[in-house]
Amino acid sequence: SGLFMSRDGGVTWKKLTGHGLPAKPVGKVMPAIAQSNPRRVYALIETGDGVPWKGQDTERGQLWRSDDGGDNWRMINTDRNAMGRTAYYARMAVATDNDNETYYLNASFSKSIDAGATLITQQGQEAPGGDHHDMWIDPTNGNRMIVGHDQGVSVSQTRGRTWLKQRLPNAQLYHVTVDNQIPYFVYTNKQDGPSYRGPSNSRLGEGGGRGGGGGGGAIPRGMWHSIGGGESGFATPDPVDPNIIWSTASGSGTVGGIVVRYDESRRQMRDVEVWPDQENGPASELKYRFIWDAPFHLSPHDHNKVYVGSQYLHQSTDGGQSWQEISPDVTLNDKSRQQSSGGLTPDNIGVEYGSVIHAIAESPKQAGVIWVGTNDGLVQVTRDGGKTWTNVTKNIPNLPPWGTVGNVEPSRHDTGTAYITVDFHQVNNRDPFVYKTMDFGASWKLITNGIPHTMLSYAHCVREDPVKRGLLYLGTENGVYVSFDDGDNWQPLQMNLPHAPVYWLVVQEQFNDLVIATYGRGAWILDDVTPLRELTQQVLNADAHLFAPRPAYRFRAITSPATPYDDPTIGENAPYGAGINYHLKSAPSGSVTITIQDAKGQTVRTLDGPRTPGLHRVYWDLRDTASRRVAFRTSPLYAPEIRVGPDGLRESEGGFGAGGGGLAILQAPGTYTVKLSVAGRDYTQQLRVLKDPHSAGTEADIAAQQLFLSSVRRDLDATVDAINNAEMIRAQINNLKNLTQDAELKKAADELDQKLAAVEGQLVELRATGRGQDGVRFGSKLVQKFSYVANGLQSGDFKPTNQQVAVQKDLEDRLKRSQGQIGDVMTRDLAAFNDMLRRANLPAIVPQVPRRSSNP
């Protein structure tokens, strides 16, 4: 390495030597030219800082400077904060308007205002982040700058005195696991963060009522928290007690050897490292070699038995109190590949350790059948719990040397079957290598047909579906694939997933979700893979097919944590309710409808579905058909500028015609029938709606609530019908006034309109425009009051309170009085007005035909 210069735009290059530059060998070099004075050139140069390297002396110094365009140089600074750990850092920037002002990016962030002679480490508000990697300074305004670091990006408009720090949705995750809670939690390890735990479903904004709106809701960052451990390993919950979470990571012990046992109920952890001796030298000098993302595995047969890998397989059965080696060194143990890393500035933190176990898995079919894979290309298996081991690597056809076994996936269907992925990109082979054995490794078959061979094809993780034999999932450096025939053929399963490295996959078995960890785009969930399990050739050949829906939980909304405004890292819940999946061979001529029926066969809801060929998912939000809505057909009182639209409806805050009503009741737990209707044929499946296990309300409470809400709905429908009838009549009166010149008729029309408006105004606020929150200005009328009572009750799973019952009774009495007054106007005043119209040979005013309640 060295410093090179071109004076012809890069056509030819000359290596600069002498003239003040280091004479001894150097490593990384980072030049920076001052925009305001191009003859001022800086260079960060890795020298070894005078520390002998491989028995040879090294230069001292970190920063050199030339003031004559690179002809002559002098060493300016030896401060190791200039470059830091050069294997990982080595960046600097020069202010665009001051050639003496420089910045140095590594774990710390330093600034110099004397041309590099003195470095000042920035602290507090003046530090943009941690682990800084790049910097941009506005070429036209030196006060504006952006720094990229491991926590995100920071922007300053004040020359670095203050920073706006922004997290980005680009989490780099190594692995992902799940538990069996309802809803389940996701566990992962994030680069430059701890091990994390967060919900797959936040239960925010769901279930309707005050505090919930029936939407899918979001998963704020504040609902995730640390569970100990560190950034690079595994976080694995105990399947029996999800409060106990095991986590592995890099650390200060044998570098990658952190093992933590965390208790969620206490939010405390215990360090149970295999060998807590602080060592971080070359791998060849260590007692145990733990890699950066050291593997951890919890036995599927005994939740008290856990495994961790160095060059040996370690086992604990007492919560990490003690560890035993249950294997010999199962790696190649090539000492030539265990030497110090980092060059002139040694950097041995486990990432680069060779000859280590990188994958562990015990057969879920038979206890004691344990597979391990190493990062020097070996696959070994024991069938007796570690007493004897068999190296099966030589049986793998066309396997290049020095691969990293990404994962081993023993089959839960056959004891002798297992799948492996092997990654060779570090030796510049980027092809996918995925193998299958059916005889404990005695023979293997390459299963990669359908995966394109590109620079990003190398495979990280293969996973077998826990239910459907032969259904496999695969994560590669650029996406996720699925195989329906045990790996013989693969096809993309990308859909809306961003293209990113997919490091790990797991299937949550209760919800049938495929959960993945990407290295750069965070964690993603493919909800309900049931259709993939049922997607046979027979299904594809059928005109239509309705898949069995998974049970739907009737989650109720919970309170939300403090959340930063407009956080780009916020997650999203699946749409609320039940996912209904169907497949169409071709587009039908007519519509596609989905009907939900209750246990009595009554239609609860009808949904429209897409008609295009292929696989579709439609969500039912677990509510029945909404009650009728107010349809305004006249301008608000005192606001004639707000007119009715071309369809005769008035624009309001909720859109055309929206002014109240629209009550949809969350349906009770139970069994429902889903009917798909396509081209004259019906297809049915049963759907179970389950009570929220976190809800304190009982099923009896829910039944009482449903009964009460049905009564409120009838009152609300009656109120809306009275309003809409009055609006229909008043709209006809207004149209008549615009058509006639008869003064007496106009006067009578005005009087009738005023009488109707006076009574209608008891039911709905006629002065409100839906703008400027003027509903607060004028208060609520009956239509809003009924909705308020219903929504308050729907915020939980409880029977109505005595006060809710009393308020409804009071509102019903008021409704009856208003209905009587409207009836009087209709039978007396409207009849008299229609007599005037007939005498004038004009058409009569026609009231709206009364309607039945929208639901029983």
Q: Is the pLDDT of residue 211 over 70?
A: no
Q: Which CATH number fits domain 3-166: 1.20.1250.20, 3.40.50.2300, 2.130.10.10, 1.20.1260.10?
A: 2.130.10.10
CA distances from residue 817 to 83, 141, 775, 806 in whole angstroms, order as listed:
83, 72, 24, 17
Torsion angles phi and psi, residue 830, rounded to 5: -65, -40
Give dist(CA 280, CA 704) in Å, integer: 66
Q: Is the pLDDT of residue 60 over 60?
A: yes
Give dist(CA 134, CA 92) in Å, integer: 8
Domain residue ranges in the chain: 3-166, 173-534, 633-654+697-856
CB 194 within 8 A of CB 230: yes
* Tokens representing residue 496 in the block: 């809306």
Instruction: Give the model confidence (pLDDT) of 391-434 as tens digits.
Output: 999 999 999 999 999 999 999 999 999 999 999 999 999 999 99
* Tokens representing residue 789 in the block: 């009572």
The label of the residue with tokens 């952006």 reads 146
Q: Is the pLDDT of residue 217 over 90?
A: no
Model's pTM, two decimal places?
A: 0.93
Domain 173-534 in this protein, CATH class: mainly beta
User: What is the separation of C-alpha 670 from the centre of its chain, rounded to a whole number of angstroms?
Assistant: 30
CA distances from residue 753 to 355, 734, 807 in whole angstroms, order as listed:
90, 8, 30
Q: Are strands 552-554 and 681-691 parallel, antiparallel or unpaired?
A: parallel
Let me know if the fold of 3-166 is the same as that of 173-534: yes
Q: Is the pLDDT of residue 40 over 50?
A: yes
| pLDDT of 176 | 98
Instruction: Give the model confidence (pLDDT) of 460-484 as tens digits.
Output: 999 999 999 999 999 999 999 999 9
| pLDDT of 850 | 60
Q: Which residue type, as a one-letter code, is found at position 370?
A: I
User: What is the separation of C-alpha 281 from the centre of its chain, rounded to a whole number of angstroms?
Assistant: 38
Instruction: Give the model confidence (pLDDT) of 692-711 as tens digits.
Output: 999 999 999 999 999 999 99
Question: How large is the average pLDDT for residues 811-821?
Answer: 96
Neighbours of 161 (CB within 10 A): 11
Neighbours of 828 (CB within 10 A): 11
Q: How confident is the model at residue 209 (pLDDT cuts 50, 70, 90)?
A: very low
Give dist(CA 361, CA 170) in Å, integer: 29
Instruction: Give the model confidence (pLDDT) of 772-781 as tens digits.
Output: 888 788 888 9
| pLDDT of 210 | 43
Range from 70-84, 280-294, 810-824 carrying the lowest mean pLDDT: 280-294
